[in-house]
Homo-oligomer: A and B are copies of this chain.
Amino acid sequence: MKKIINHPNHVVSELLVGMAKAHPELKYTEKLEVISRKDKTKKKVGVVSGGGSGHEPAHAGYVGTGMLDAAVAGNVFSSPSPDRIIKGIEEANSGEGVLLVIKNYSGDIMNFGMAKDMAEMDDIRVESVVVKDDVAVPDSTYSTGRRGIAGTVFVHKIAGAKAETGANLDEVKAAAEKAIANIRSMGMAMTSCTLPAVGKPGFVLGDDEVEIGMGIHGEPGVERTTVKTAAEVAQILLDKILADYDYSNSEVALLVNGLGATPLMELYILNNEVEKILTEKGIKIHRTFVGNYMTALEMSGCSLTLMKLDDELKELLDAPCNTPALKIF
């Protein structure tokens, strides 16, 4: 196994310490593996997300002004325990309540749900939303219903921006729900990835083989096929996304996401093809984001995400924010 690590059991804590050292505006809570904002002077709704590690910069990289107030990390590809999530809720709470943004995996649903109940017993008002943006398959290895993947980053941004306006918990939740309703994603994997604690690839793809619709933990997709051109990848993924939701005559935000090991060169080449197809269909792209936003360790591959925008979502998307993952120099 070729990884720059010290010991498989320490990857999560050391990653978060290394992140907190690089970004002194972040607070790291040891053992509970929570990254939160140091500056909590403003009374506002707190926004918390998290989940298994291995998706960096998600989720801790999105903690900062205008996005998350806290991110809770589980072990690699494994849901954080409720005590960790409660700590995240406490860190994010300034008296106005907390919204949990959960990706739809059974472990996360259970653990975030338990933490919500327990926090409410401590008189913290908590609401939650569940992201299910992956159109690839109706149910999956670790989820009942669609998986939550890269579109989650848009939900972080929308909820975080809404909270920053001083909106109350119901309003922040409503904005997040609107974003979720308007978001669809789908991905493709070209190589496997290796969990540090396992030491060998979770699955094997042949030298000329890719998997369409694979999940961000290596969950099965819809088809194993030969390597496609960038134009074909764009077409295959968009066909499925556009068949699932009517984006025609609308304005969208576009995320061309890398799964960890795909060079930016390829993501930009893919973006060129995606733009051609969307433009031809009369779909107006308001903003495009290209990069590694929601990864799967060192998996190579990509996903595409569209979010339909109305005036409110556009304003929230464009509102300033400042986080480690998306920070000016």
Which A residues are within 8 Å of any B CB, using their own CB?
A: 1-7, 11, 14-19, 21-23, 53-54, 56-57, 61, 66-67, 157, 190-191, 207-208, 210, 227, 229-231, 233, 256, 260-273, 275, 288-290, 292, 295, 297-298, 300, 302, 317, 320-323, 326-329
Contact = CB atoms under 8 A, between A and B. Distances in A.
Given A230-B6, A271-B21, A295 B327 contact: no
Q: How many copies does the complex hold?
A: 2
A264 B60 CA distance: 11
A329 B157 contact: yes
Given A11-B269, A18-B275, A22-B288, A229 B5 contact: yes
B2 A190 contact: yes
A66 B266 CA distance: 26
A288 B18 CA distance: 10
A56 B231 contact: no
A67 B328 CA distance: 12
B14 A230 contact: yes
27 contacts: A4-B233, A5-B269, A6-B230, A6-B273, A11-B269, A14-B272, A16-B268, A18-B272, A19-B268, A19-B271, A22-B256, A22-B268, A22-B288, A22-B290, A23-B288, A53-B265, A67-B329, A157-B329, A260-B263, A261-B262, A261-B298, A264-B292, A265-B297, A298-B300, A317-B329, A321-B329, A328-B328
B300 A264 contact: no
Contacts of A11: 265, 269
A18 B270 contact: yes
Contact of A18 (B4, B290, B317): B290
A263 B298 contact: yes
Contacts of A233: 4
Nearest to A57: B264
B4 A262 contact: yes
A297 to B, nearest CB: 5
Given A6-B229, A6-B231, A210-B2, A15 B262 contact: no
Contacts of A54: 263, 265
A297 B3 CA distance: 18
A76 B191 CA distance: 23
